[in-house]
């Protein structure tokens, strides 16, 4: 080892020892006779002093040091003179009086300094990620990520789960997200697909008798990026045999409690609260509601039916819904102009026809552009239904159920933040269960799997497969953290006949099913145990546990919104020879 200690560990107890520290020059303060240097590594910072007693050669060498040079300083640990202790530094009670210096490597002047106060633009950080990752904040996040994964691995190991790796080069399954494809050289004209998840392999492992499987798995989905979505991401993937939904949820409850305790020092009450999908959509307009605050969606369709307000009446009478939220104290906070902006927001982003608003005055009277459309009795009814108090702002959307969900979910999220209805540091864990098996795809005129095509229906809903698939509920469960889907799983179909029935509903006939999933259908016929599992989005867990709003900060080398890597400049062009070997010709633009 070139060093005897790290830059973060020296304390008063080390005084008198001769030590060698290795690290990067974080900053230097040249006082002429004395030179102070902060040396940084991932453990912390320590101050090295080159003083008037040092020989001129050492002083001159030390003076030549610049930001981010890599150095090895040897010296004696000394207490800092009285009045010069730095309480902001863990090592602030001591300093290292240098006796020798080795410059291990120089550095160009960095485009930004990892120790600087203001953060450069994200593109610059991504381009020079090695500098960005030197920042204590990034190191804190990546170490938090490590600890979360460690907790997961330990927990499942203790429960007897076996870590099995599954292939990255697999077969394309066109359902679901767009695949990343990898051309085959040996099988010219054919392609592998990178896994969207190890779903089928883990089911095969259950059939193979592995009973409890776990893996930290890379997954790839070629879809557009978001603040919380990367094309390449990491799942904690697991599967269990001889279990029901209850069992998987129970195991995961234990993990959540342990992670919250070990990572955040929080005691989480178990079992975690659960609500059904229908309840979530009805109350929050979304299948992953943020339960850190109320602001529930309230239905007033019955009132709307009675009123003379055409917007409301028409929606109520055409099978739509009228729903609203009551923003506490929103009347003063949202001016006419601000409400216009909210209206534009729901129209543009969620396709709502408009936004109807009412304000409750200090005397309890209800005002607003739409107020004249209601009788005083109906206004009172609305106010009571939404439990509105003076000073509250009421916002309504009248539309098809789906549109009211999206628009009011968007509003709820926005108002929750803008009105500070919750502590941004609070953590809330819950389950949403009993998702629909299918959603109707209007474009394809076809039922589509809500989760994936291997999801088992609730036993009592099996007859609905033939009669009313839309009402069929799945043995599915999503883990929700602070309004983010942090994991999702299902009990799987373990019976080839039932599997084929679901495929049929999804428009996958026997021939197609055989071509795509033949191996699974085969395997299901050789003694498949009942099984189910879940996958957790590790990047999102880190994001939520670290209280960040951006998944890129949780990943060492993330991609930009256009799915490029600014450091390596991937994706890049390839040599024509490589294309020839693969039998690929690029279409001319």
Q: Please identify, using beta-carbon distances, which residue of 118 and 575 lies nearer to RNA.
A: 118
Residue window 184-203: x/- pattern of binding to RNA, with contact defined by CB under 7 A: ------------xx-x----
Q: List alpha helices for 285-335, DSSP H.
A: 301-306, 310-317, 330-333
Q: Please identify, using beta-carbon distances, which residue of 123 and 575 lies nearer to RNA.
A: 123
Longest dimension (CA), the chain: 93
Q: At what angle do helices 277-284 and 401-418 cross, to 10 degrees?
A: 60
One residue of 134, 406, 492, 516 binding RNA per CB under 7 A = 406
| Alpha-carbon torsion angle 504, 508, 513, 517, nearest 10 | -110
Q: Please identify, using beta-carbon distances, which residue of 85 and 582 lies nearer to RNA.
A: 85
Residues binding RNA: what is the number (CB under 7 A)?
73
Q: Please identify, using beta-carbon distances, which residue of 217 and 316 lies nearer to RNA.
A: 217
| 12 forms part of the interface with RNA (CB under 7 A) | no
| 34 forms part of the interface with RNA (CB under 7 A) | yes
One residue of 137, 223, 302, 509 binding RNA per CB under 7 A = 223
| 76 forms part of the interface with RNA (CB under 7 A) | no
Give the nearest distance from C-beta 287 to RNA in angstroms: 10
Give the nearest distance from C-beta 580 to RNA in angstroms: 27
One residue of 11, 12, 15, 66 binding RNA per CB under 7 A = 66
Alpha carbon 336 to chain centroid distance? 35
Dist. CA 269–CA 257, nearest whole Å: 8
| 124 forms part of the interface with RNA (CB under 7 A) | yes
Question: Interacting stretch for RNA, rule CB under 7 A, among 76-84, 142-150, 248-256, 306-314?
Answer: 76-84
| 158 forms part of the interface with RNA (CB under 7 A) | no
| 123 forms part of the interface with RNA (CB under 7 A) | yes
Q: Please identify, using beta-carbon distances, which residue of 517 and 545 lies nearer to RNA.
A: 517
Question: Interacting stretch for RNA, rule CB under 7 A, among 120-128, 138-146, 257-265, 302-310?
Answer: 120-128
Instruction: Give the DSSP H or E segment for 479.
Output: strand 476-481
Backbone angles phi and psi of 177, in degrees to 5: -75, 165
User: Are the beta carbons of 346 and 323 closer than 8 angstroms?
Assistant: no
Backbone angles phi and psi of 391, in degrees to 5: 95, -5
Determine how many CB atoms are found less than 10 A away from the CB of residue 323. 25
Question: Interacting stretch for RNA, rule CB under 7 A, among 82-90, 154-162, 210-218, 253-261?
Answer: 82-90
Give the nearest distance from C-beta 62 to RNA in angstroms: 12
Dist. CA 443–CA 520, nearest whole Å: 29
| 99 forms part of the interface with RNA (CB under 7 A) | no
Q: Please identify, using beta-carbon distances, which residue of 217 and 366 lies nearer to RNA.
A: 217
504: nearest Cα among 436, 434, 435, 437: 437
| 81 forms part of the interface with RNA (CB under 7 A) | yes
One residue of 83, 459, 572, 589 binding RNA per CB under 7 A = 83
Q: DSSP labels for 31-76?
A: -SS-EEEEEEETTEEEEEEE-TTS-HHHHHHHHT--TT-EEEEEEE
One residue of 8, 36, 159, 292 binding RNA per CB under 7 A = 36
* Ramachandran sector of residue 483 (left: φ over 0; alpha: ψ -120 to 50; beta: rest): left
Alpha carbon 102 to chain centroid distance? 43
One residue of 15, 104, 119, 338 binding RNA per CB under 7 A = 119
Question: Interacting stretch for RNA, rule CB under 7 A, among 25-33, 305-313, 318-326, 456-464?
Answer: 25-33
Sites for RNA among residues 282-341 (CB under 7 A): none
Sites for RNA among residues 550-579 (CB under 7 A): 550, 552, 560-562, 564, 566
| 224 forms part of the interface with RNA (CB under 7 A) | yes
Q: DSSP labels for 69-124?
A: -EEEEEEEEEEPPTT---TTSTTTTEEEEEEEEEEEE--PPPSS-TT-SSPPPHHH
One residue of 214, 240, 449, 502 binding RNA per CB under 7 A = 449
Beta strands in 379-456 (DSSP E): 393-399, 429-433, 438-441, 446-449
Q: Please identify, using beta-carbon distances, which residue of 154 and 223 lies nearer to RNA.
A: 223
One residue of 452, 494, 516, 540 binding RNA per CB under 7 A = 452
How far CA 375 is from CA of 325, 354, 366, in Å, comes to 20, 21, 11
One residue of 22, 47, 101, 251 binding RNA per CB under 7 A = 47
Sites for RNA among residues 486-545 (CB under 7 A): none
Close Cβ partners of 66 (under 8 Å, ≥ 6 residues apart): 25, 28, 106, 107, 109
């Amino acid at each position: 080892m070139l060093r005897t200690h790290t830059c973060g560990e020296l304390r008063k107890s080390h005084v008198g020892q001769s030590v060698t520290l290795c690290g990067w020059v974080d900053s230097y303060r040249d006082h002429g006779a004395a030179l102070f240097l902060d040396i940084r590594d991932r453990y912390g910072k320590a101050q090295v002093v080159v003083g008037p007693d040092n020989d001129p050669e050492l002083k001159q060498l030390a003076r030549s040091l610049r930001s981010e040079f890599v150095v090895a300083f040897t010296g004696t640990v000394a207490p800092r003179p009285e009045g010069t202790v730095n309480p902001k530094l863990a090592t602030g009670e001591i300093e290292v009086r240098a006796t020798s210096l080795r410059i291990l490597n120089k550095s160009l002047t960095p485009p930004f300094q990892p120790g600087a106060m203001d953060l450069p633009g994200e593109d610059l950080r991504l381009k020079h990620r090695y500098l960005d990752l030197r920042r204590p904040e990034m190191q804190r996040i990546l170490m938090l990520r490590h600890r979360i994964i460690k907790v997961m691995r330990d927990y499942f190991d203790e429960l007897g789960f076996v870590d099995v790796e599954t292939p990255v080069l697999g077969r394309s399954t066109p359902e679901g997200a767009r695949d990343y494809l990898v051309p085959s050289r040996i099988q010219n004209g054919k392609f592998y697909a990178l896994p969207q998840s190890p779903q089928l392999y883990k089911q095969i492992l259950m059939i193979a008798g592995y009973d409890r499987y776990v893996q930290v798995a890379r997954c790839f989905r070629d879809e557009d990026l978001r603040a919380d979505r990367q094309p390449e991401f990491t799942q904690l993937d697991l599967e269990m045999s001889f279990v029901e939904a209850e069992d998987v949820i129970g195991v995961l409850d234990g993990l959540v409690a342990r992670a919250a305790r070990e990572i955040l020092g929080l005691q989480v009450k178990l079992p975690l609260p659960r609500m059904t999908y229908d309840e979530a959509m009805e109350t929050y307009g979304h299948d992953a509601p943020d339960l850190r605050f109320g602001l529930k969606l309230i239905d007033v369709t019955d009132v709307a039916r009675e009123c003379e307000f055409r917007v409301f009446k028409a929606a109520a009478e055409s099978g739509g819904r009228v729903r609203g939220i009551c923003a506490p104290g929103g009347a003063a906070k949202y001016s006419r102009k601000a409400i216009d902006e909210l209206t534009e927001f729901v129209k543009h982003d969620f396709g709502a026809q408009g936004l109807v608003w009412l304000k409750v005055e200090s005397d309890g009277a209800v005002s607003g552009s739409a107020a004249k459309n209601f009788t005083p009795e109906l206004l009172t009814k609305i106010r009571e239904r939404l439990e509105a108090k003076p000073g509250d702002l009421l916002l309504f959307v009248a539309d098809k159920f789906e549109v009211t969900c999206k628009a009011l979910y968007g509003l709820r999220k926005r108002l929750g933040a803008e009105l500070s209805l919750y502590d941004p540091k609070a953590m809330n864990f819950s389950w949403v269960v009993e998702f629909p098996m299918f959603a109707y795809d209007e474009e394809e005129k076809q039922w589509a799997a809500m989760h994936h095509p291997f999801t088992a229906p609730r036993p009592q809903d099996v007859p609905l497969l033939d009669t009313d698939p839309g009402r069929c509920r799945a043995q599915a469960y999503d883990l929700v953290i602070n309004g983010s889907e942090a994991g999702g799983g299902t009990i799987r179909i373990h019976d080839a006949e039932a599997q084929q029935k679901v495929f049929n509903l999804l428009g996958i006939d026997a021939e197609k099913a055989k071509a795509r999933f033949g191996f699974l259908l085969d395997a299901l016929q050789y003694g498949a145990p009942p099984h189910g599992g879940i996958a957790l989005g590790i990047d999102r867990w880190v994001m939520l546990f670290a209280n960040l709003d951006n998944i890129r900060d949780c990943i060492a080398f993330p991609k930009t919104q256009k799915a490029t890597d600014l450091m390596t400049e991937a994706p890049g062009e390839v040599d024509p020879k490589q294309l020839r070997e693969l039998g690929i010709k690029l279409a001319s633009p």
